[in-house]
């Protein structure tokens, strides 16, 4: 919300606020005067007593008898418009153009930053005229290397009726290795103390595709194995 005011016999004012907050109009009525929106009365002050004449403002509009200022709280987008504060006793008025907007209706802002993994924390700061929000970014929480493509090694299991699939991949931070089919995850492993992650799967003759997948928070690589593509007997299981 941006409020621009032009006042007769007073300094021009610019006020800034957002939907849901409170704004105070920049001109005072000390004893007798009016508050209008687009020429229609909202409140009247007579003999140092205020009466709100527009019911839609009755719960949100306040007049401070000490300062003579009008404050509107719980700002809404429909509060946009032209407001006039008129001090009849002193022959002074202030016209204020009020624009309201909701932060949720605005397009999000983005600002990329390239950082190194072992560098110091960074702060992302969002500021407007009435508030400030800061988020601390720690490189160790966001910087990851892309995972390697897993390698599958096959061998015939004991008895020759099944095939043993051993999947391996160079290990990395927060890396998980898993065996999946189209419908479910069959098994998975994670161990930060190993230089290479390995995961073995025993299968029998099947039309299903088995995929070994390596993942971390920023990347994913997979290698698929389809038993029906093996042209030699299962007991010689190979790719």
The encoded tokens of residue 123 equal 């702060």
Segments forming the whole domain that contains residue 168: 151-236
Residue 109 lies in a domain: no
Residue 63 lies in a domain: yes
pLDDT digits (tens, 9 = 90+) for 5-50: 444 544 456 667 778 888 888 889 989 999 999 889 999 999 989 9
Residue 114 lies in a domain: no
Given 103, 138, 164, which residue is the final one in a domain? 103
CATH code, 10: 2.60.40.10
Q: Based on the number of CB atoms within 10 Å of its own CB, is 134 exposed (0-12), middle (13-18) or buried (19 or more)?
A: exposed
Residue 17 lies in a domain: yes
Cβ neighbours of residue 23 under 8 Å, at least 6 residues apart? 1, 3, 15, 17, 71, 72, 75, 98
Taking the C-alpha atoms of residue 175 and residue 215, their distance in angstroms, rounded to an integer, is 6
Placement of tokens 């800061």 in the chain: 134
Placement of tokens 């202030």 in the chain: 94
Given 103, 137, 164, which residue is the final one in a domain? 103
Q: Are residues 14 and 80 in the same domain?
A: yes
**Phi-psi category of residue 47: left, alpha or beta, with phi > 0 → left and psi -120 to 50 → alpha:** left
Given 87, 103, 119, which residue is the final one in a domain? 103
Q: Is the CB of residue 36 less than 8 Å from the CB of residue 26?
A: no
* H or E segment to which residue 137 belongs: strand 131-137
Q: Are residues 156 and 91 in the same domain?
A: no
pLDDT digits (tens, 9 = 90+) for 82-124: 888 999 888 887 888 777 767 665 566 677 777 766 667 888 8
Q: Are residues 159 and 87 in the same domain?
A: no
Q: Model-level pTM?
A: 0.45
pLDDT digits (tens, 9 = 90+) for 179-216: 999 889 999 999 999 999 999 998 877 778 899 999 99
Q: Are residues 156 and 69 in the same domain?
A: no
Q: Are residues 155 and 99 in the same domain?
A: no
The encoded tokens of residue 116 equal 């190194």
Residue 21 lies in a domain: yes
Domain count, the chain: 2
Q: Are residues 166 and 231 in the same domain?
A: yes
């Amino acid at each position: 919300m941006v409020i621009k005011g032009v006042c007769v016999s007073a300094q021009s004012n610019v006020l800034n606020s957002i939907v849901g907050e409170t704004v105070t109009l920049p001109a005072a009525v000390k004893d007798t005067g009016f508050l209008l929106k687009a020429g229609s009365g909202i409140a009247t002050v007579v003999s140092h007593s205020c009466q709100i004449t527009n019911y839609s403002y009755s719960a949100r509009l306040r007049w401070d008898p000490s300062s003579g200022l009008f404050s509107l709280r719980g700002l809404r987008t429909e509060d946009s418009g032209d407001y006039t504060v008129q001090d009849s006793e002193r022959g002074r008025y202030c016209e204020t153009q009020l624009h309201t907007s909701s932060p949720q209706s605005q397009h999000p802002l983005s600002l990329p930053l390239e950082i190194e993994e072992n560098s110091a924390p960074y702060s992302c700061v969002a500021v407007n005229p009435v508030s400030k929000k800061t988020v601390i970014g720690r490189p160790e929480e966001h910087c990851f290397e892309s995972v390697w493509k897993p390698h599958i090694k096959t061998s015939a299991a004991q008895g020759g009726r099944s095939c043993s699939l051993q999947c391996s991949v160079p290990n990395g931070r927060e890396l998980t290795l898993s065996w999946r089919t189209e419908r479910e995850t069959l098994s998975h492993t994670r161990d930060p103390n190993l230089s290479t992650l390995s995961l073995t799967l025993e299968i029998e003759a099947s039309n299903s595709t088995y995929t070994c997948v390596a993942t971390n928070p920023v990347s994913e690589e997979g290698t698929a194995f389809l038993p029906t593509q093996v042209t030699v007997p299962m007991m010689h299981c190979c790719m």
